[in-house]
Structure 1
């Protein structure tokens, strides 16, 4: 439950970050061979999401996460090993017309080598939508959500929703620089952390987190059984793709 691991996760390619890194390593080498500087910093490989994001893409939330991030998304570069990568990425670099053409060609070659020209079918995400929606509407989850509302009311949030899935509310998102309106905040304020920690506590005490996870897990099982053949074919594709990506990183990654 801590990682919100679900049955359909086994059929999802959760290594988009590794693919992008491997791609850049090949592009960097290709450009360097043409006399074009394209430094790529060392990055640790990621396989289990990062910070407060699970490998299935779901945003995680707990008392520990609330204490650390509030409602903010953890940035990959906040993790060990990414500081140097950020320094390189933040250096402004205008490509000339010839460099841009070389980059496009190198990128095409990199994707051909890794076999990542085409995206994999997103069956896991597609099949997960209905079980999640059904779980949110189920009687046990709605009953737990009502208890959560009662627990949260003392905070006096004017636009408090009827479910934890609606947090942070619009007013809180704007107040804490999360609304995407240009007034963004890079780090959580103490008030945000206090509300997030209370929210996490209420989700636990109301039973909402536990019952939603259990319900969603159970509702995914028949979906996996129903689509077993196509999911297993996809899993074979994912494994082969990931092996190619990891090999590229092993062969081309710079020293730490």
Structure 2
């Protein structure tokens, strides 16, 4: 049975963006934003938007709902916001990098939202409802497939998801390069010593390594912090403990005092500067395409969205 996904749908593989083949005149290397460690601002940020896959999927689903309605099938798609701010939690940033400050650590421990994406408590309920409709409707799959194909003639969901994945790959590439930078390795040793001096038996070479991130499973066990949680998991069955908060605060303070946070930021920034220079044409053309497509999709949403 087809399982319906009415919320954000991410592509699973990064494919070449067709726009690159359409290049005619080279573009100038984009200007860099102001550096900002606290908000982890990066050179690739201006080519990314939190709604880059949420908006195409929402628009697509609205068009499918109208198409299904014309066939006498109620396909309820709830209202969703279309602004970037609604899809970026307060502690998150465009890089998806968790900036662990003492203030964040005191409130969230290690559980602060680090990635873009809107928490939608109605999402599971909506999917359950739509899957029930799909299961009880004779001839559903060919009808739904035809409606989806018709919607995708107006919404470039797959192309924009390809672009999203390519950007995500470059973000991760820059993060990997930063982990290998000599100055990051040097300050990582100072960070480790700082935590050990505070009584935490840390064996990681840095807060983020290619193999493991803080806090390690071994350290959690040694310090009495509950077993690894899922992001945002602070429910009654796994509440935020004082032990976790204390560890996270010490970690945050040591990241700053050792110089690791600044070193890692600068190394990741430098890696992205190179990526932006290397792929300037593709980045600018894809960004301009996104802006054009976004305006077109917002017009479709305004025409088809349910009342809010």
Spell out the pairing of 1:66-215 with structure 2 (5 A cutoff). Answer: 66-72=105-111, 74=113, 78=119, 82-85=120-123, 87-91=125-129, 93-94=131-132, 95-96=134-135, 98-118=139-159, 119-121=161-163, 122-153=165-196, 154-157=198-201, 160-165=203-208, 166-171=213-218, 172=220, 175-178=226-229, 188-190=239-241, 191-215=243-267
- Picking from 45, 49, 62, the partner of 1:25 is 62
| TM superposition shift of 1:86 | 5.1
When normalised by structure 1's length, the TM-score is 0.78
Contact 1:116 1:241 survives alignment (8 Å): no
Structure 1 residues 139 and 39, CA, compared in 2 at 3 Å: closer, same or farther?
A: same
Partner of 2:12: none
Spell out the pairing of 1:47-62 with structure 2 (5 A cutoff). Answer: 47-48=84-85, 49-51=87-89, 52-62=91-101
1:10 aligns with 2:57: no
In structure 1, runs of 5+ residues without a counterpart are none
Contact 2:95 2:171 survives alignment (8 Å): no
| TM superposition shift of 1:85 | 4.7
Q: Provide the C-alpha distance between the structure 2 equivalents of 1:83 and 1:132, rounded to a whole number of angstroms.
A: 31
More helix by share: 1
| TM superposition shift of 1:35 | 2.2
Q: Over the residues paired in the alignment, what is the CA RMSD in angstroms?
A: 3.2
In structure 2, runs of 5+ residues without a counterpart are 1-36
When normalised by structure 2's length, the TM-score is 0.67
- Picking from 254, 258, 268, the partner of 1:216 is 268
SS in 2 for 1:113: coil
Contact 2:88 2:118 survives alignment (8 Å): no
Structure 1 residues 69 and 105, CA, compared in 2 at 3 Å: closer, same or farther?
A: farther
**Dislocated runs of 4+, deviation >6 Å:** none
| TM superposition shift of 1:111 | 2.0
Partner of 1:63: 102
Q: Provide the C-alpha distance between the structure 1 equivalents of 2:88 and 2:166, rounded to a whole number of angstroms.
A: 22
| TM superposition shift of 1:7 | 0.9
Structure 1 residues 251 and 203, CA, compared in 2 at 3 Å: closer, same or farther?
A: farther
